Chain A
Amino acid sequence: MRRRVGPTKIVVQVLQYLALLAFIAFLAFPLLWLLSTALKTPRELALTDPTWIPRLPTLANFRDAFGEQDLVGAAARSLVVALFSSFITVLISLPASYAMARYRSLVNRIAIGWVLVSQVFPFILIIIPLFMILRDLDLVNTLPGLVVVHVTFTLPFALWMLQGYVRAVPPELEEAAAVDGASRLRSIVSVVAPLLAPGVVATLLFAFISSWNEFMFALVILQDPDVMTLPLTLVRFTGPEGVARLGPLAAASLMATIPSLIFFAIIQRRLKSGLMAGAVKG
C-alpha cells in the first residue's frame, strides 16, 4: 500500500483519513457533548432542538459544581488512591509476571488459572464478604483500604498484560548477558528492564484509570465526607427517578475525565510508538 504511487494511493489515503475520522468522531463525540452540556443553562438543556454550540454559554454550572461539592479535594484523594494503586500493582506484578513468563511450573499454571477465574466471577457477589474482611481489618472508611481493594482487582489483568511483554523479550538476550558474566539479577535489571519500560507504563496506565474511575467499592467502603473520591462526588448531582442536574453534572464529569486523558497524552508523547509497541503475546 505504502510504496505504490499515483491516484490509487491518494484515494486509499483519503479513505483512510475518512475512516479514522469516523472512528474518532464515534469515540470522542461525547466529550464534546459533555463540554457543550456543561456550558448550557437549565433552560437551554430543556430545548427539543439541541445544538452543539450553546446559544447562551454560561459558567454557572462550573461554579455550582465546585461550590456545592468538594470536587478539588475529591480529585486530590482520587489521584492519591490511583497513584498508590497503580504503583503498588506494578511493583507486585513485575516480578510475578517475570516468573510467570519465564518458568513453566504448577504455581505458574495456578496463577494463570486464577487470573482467568478472578475475571469470570462477578464482583457483585464478592463485595459483601470482602467488605466484612475489610471491616475486621479496620480498613473501612480509609483510603488505604480502597487502595488494597483496587490493587487486588487490577492485579490479575496487570499480571496478564505484563507477562505478555516479558515474553516478548527474547530469553537469548538475557543468556547473552549471562555469558558476559553478569549475574542473573544484573542481567534482568540491565537488559530486560529497559525493554519492559513500555509494558510497565501501559500497565500503570491501566491500573491508574481503573482506580480513578472505580465506583462501587468506593461507595460502600468510604463513608466520611473527607475521604470520598471523585466518582462518588459525581453522583451527588442525580436525584430520584433518574432526574439529574445535568449542567453541574457535566461540568464535574469533564473535570473527572480530563486528568486521565492528560495522563495518557503525556505518556503517549514520551513513548511515541513505545506505549503500544510492547508485545502482547498471549
Chain B
Amino acid sequence: MRIKSALAAATVVALAAACGSGGGGESSSSSNEPVKINFLSLAWQQESVAANKQLVDEWNKANPNIQVTYVQGSWDNVNDQLVTQFAGGTAPDVIHNDSPALSGFASDGYLLDLGDKLPAELKSDIPQAAWDTVTFDGGKGEQGVYGVPFLQESQVIIANKKLLDASGVRVPTSDNPWTWDEFSEAAKKMTKSGAYGVAWPMKSPVNKTLNLALSFGGTFFQSAGGKTTVKVGPEEREVLQRIHDQLNKDKSADPGALGQGTADPLPSFYEGKFAMLPAGVFLRQQVVEQAPEGFEWVTLPAPKGTSAQQGAVSQTLSIAQDSEHPDEAMKFISFFLNSTNQVKLAKGDWLLPTSQKAAADPALTTKENGWDVATASAKNLVVAPFLKVNGFDEWRTKIATPALQEYFANKITIDEVSAKLVEDGNKVLERYQR
C-alpha cells in the first residue's frame, strides 16, 4: 500500500513538472508577467553555493518583474551541456563559466557582445587587465566583450611553515617575492631525508606552466599577418627548464606528485612529505578544511622572473546570444557582481575579486589564511596570450599536455618538447585558420 501511494505521489510530481516546464519554455511578453531568467551557476563550495543562492533571493525580492531561476551546473560537464544547448538554442540566459572556455563559445557566435550594454559603474570598477581576459574575436572578425570577469585565480605557493622556518631561507613577501633562482635554492634547502622541497602536480600541466611562464615573458604564441603560430624560444624555455631541473636535476621536487591533480598531493603535504605546493589561490580552502590540528601553513607569492607577471584566468558571467531578455539579464549581472557582492563571492570560492573596491575590503586583505598575499598577487595578473588563440584547447589536450608530461618525467629533452609544441602544434592550429 505504501509503495502504491508513493507511486501515485510520484506520478503527480512528474505530471506537475511536465506541465510546469511546458509553460516555462516560452515567456510571453505581456507586461504584467514577470520576465523569467535562468542563471546557470557553477558554484560548488558550500559557502559559495550559499552566497549565490542568497544573492539570487535578494534580487528576486527586490525585482518582482525580473525573476531569476538559480540553475545549478557543474564544472565537470558544463561545456558539454552548453555545446548541446547552444546548438539547440535553449541555453540559459546568464551563464557562469571561465575565460578559457569563453573564447571558443564567443567565436562560435553563441555569446552576446556586452560591449555597449555594460553599465559605467561596473565597467570602471573592474580593471582593464581583467576585461582583456574576456575580449575576443566574435567569429566574424570583430572584437567584443563576451562576459563580465568576476573571480580571478592567481598562482601562489602554499608552504609548510615549520619546514620553511627550519630551512632558514628568506621568507618572501608580496613586495619582495623570490626570484626563480631563490625559489629553486629554497626548495633544495628544504629537501632533506624523506622530505622534498616542493611538489608539482602536473596532471594538467599546461595552464599552470603557461601562466607562470609569463614571468619570463614566455608567451608561447605569436601572431603575424592574421596567422597564429606556436613559439618556444629562450623566454618560454625558462620556466619549463626550471621545473624540470627541480624534478630531475636538483631532485628537490617530489616525483610522486608529478602525475597528480591539483589537490591530490595535499594529504602528503599535511604529513610534511614536501614543504611547498605551487597552486591556485583557491586551494587554500581545502587546506583550511582538511589540515590536521596544529598544522601551520603560509601563503607565499609566486616566484618572479624578469617580472612578477602571471597569466590570469577569470570566472565570468555571460549572456547567451539567444536570450530573449538580454537587458534584464545585464541588470541582474550588474547587481550580482557589484563590489559588495563580489566580496561575498570571492570569500565563498577563495578566489580574487576583479572589483577594485571589493579587493580593498578588509575581509580580503587580512593576514588570516593568506588573503593578504593572495589579493596582492592580483596586481601581477595580465591576460595570457593563449586565451585568444583559436584552437588552443586542442593544442593543449593533444599536443602540450602529453609533451609537457613526458618532458617533466624526463622522457624527452627540452629540444624535443619544444619541437613537439611548435611543429605538431602548428598543424593543430592550422585546422582553425582555414
Q: Which residues of A contact B341 (CB under 8 A)?
A: none
Using known A-B contacts A140-B88, A220-B81, determine if residue A238 contacts B17 with beta carbons closer than 8 Å: no
Q: Is the CB of B44 within 8 A of A84?
A: no
Residue B11 interfacial (CB < 8 Å): yes
Report yes or no: B21 in contact with A235, Cβ–Cβ below 8 A: no
Interface of chain B residues 68 through 121 with chain A (CB within 8 A): 69-72, 74-77, 80-81, 83-85, 87-90, 92, 98
Complex contacts, A128 vs chain B, CB 8 Å: 83-84, 87-88
What is the total number of residues of chain B having a CB less than 8 Å from a CB of chain A?
A: 52
The answer to whether the Cβ of A106 comes within 8 Å of any Cβ in the partner chain is no
Place the interface of chain A in its size category. 35 or more
Whether, in the assembled complex, A14 has its beta carbon less than 8 Å from a beta carbon of chain B, the answer is no
Bound together, the chains give a CA A239 to CA B282 distance in angstroms of 11
Shortest A145–chain B CB gap in Å is 9
Distance in Å: Cβ of A147 to nearest Cβ of chain B: 9
Cα–Cα distance between A81 and B76 once the two chains are bound (Å): 24
Docked pose: A95 CA to B349 CA in angstroms:
55
Q: Is the CB of B84 within 8 A of A224?
A: no
- Considering the complex, give the chain A residue whose CB is closest to the CB of B289: A42
B90 touches A76 (CB 8 A): no
Tell me how far the C-beta of A98 lies from the nearest C-beta in chain B, rounded to whole angstroms: 27
A224 to B291, CA, bound (A): 37
Given contacts A46-B266, A220-B80, is CB(A144)–CB(B71) below 8 Å? no
Q: Is the CB of A224 within 8 A of B267?
A: no
| Bound CA span A235–B224, Å | 43
- Within 8 Å of chain A (Cβ to Cβ): is B29? no
Q: How far is the CB of B89 from chain A (nearest CB, A)?
A: 7
B143 at the interface (CB under 8 A from A): no
**B46 lies within 8 A of A64 (CB):** yes
Cβ of B14: which chain A residues have Cβ within 8 Å of it? Answer: 77, 80-81, 84, 143-144
Most chain A beta-carbon contacts within 10 A, residue among B25, B80, B88, B204: B88
Q: Could you tell me if B49 and A143 are in contact, using CB atoms closer than 8 angstroms?
A: no
Q: List A contacts of B81 (CB < 8 A).
A: 219-220
- Distance in angstroms from A208 CB to nearest chain B CB is 13
Known: A128-B84, A142-B22, A237-B44. A243 touches B286 (CB 8 A): yes
CB atoms of B10 and A76 under 8 A apart: yes
In the complex the two chains form, is A238's CB within 8 Å of B44's CB? yes
Answer whether A80 and B10 are a contact pair too, CB < 8 Å, given A141-B21, A224-B69, A245-B44: yes
Q: Is A255 interfacial (CB 8 A cutoff)?
A: no
CB distance from B278 to the nearest CB of A (A): 14
Query: Which B residues touch A81, using CB under 8 A?
Result: 14
- A-chain residues with CB within 8 Å of residue B17 when the two chains form the complex: 77, 142-143, 226-227
CB contacts under 8 Å to B, within A199-247, are: 216, 219-220, 223-228, 235-243, 245
Cβ B261 vs Cβ A219 within 8 A: no
A241 to chain B, nearest CB (A): 5
Alpha-carbon separation in the docked complex, A117 to B309 (Å): 54
A48 close to B (CB within 8 Å): yes
Q: B83 → chain A, closest Cβ, in Å?
A: 8
CA A239 to CA B126, docked complex, whole Å: 25
CB distance from B209 to the nearest CB of A (A): 14
Taking the closest CB of chain A, its distance from the CB of B71, in whole angstroms, is 6
How far does the alpha carbon of A116 sit from the alpha carbon of B372 in the complex, in Å? 61
Task: Check A220/B84 contact, CB under 8 A, given A79-B10, A238-B76, A245-B44.
Answer: yes
B291: A residues at CB distance < 8 A: 43, 46
Q: Contacts A141-B25, A220-B85 given: A243-B290 contact, CB under 8 Å?
A: no
Q: Min CB distance, B347 to chain A, in Å?
A: 16
Q: With A42-B290, A46-B286, A140-B90 given, can you name 18 additional A-B contacts, CB distance below 8 Å?
A: A46-B266, A46-B267, A64-B46, A77-B10, A79-B10, A84-B14, A127-B84, A128-B88, A144-B18, A216-B80, A219-B77, A219-B81, A225-B71, A226-B17, A226-B21, A235-B74, A235-B76, A238-B76
Interface residue ranges, A against B (CB under 8 Å): 42-43, 45-48, 64, 68-69, 73, 76-77, 79-81, 83-84, 127-128, 131-132, 135, 138, 140-144, 216, 219-220, 223-228, 235-243, 245
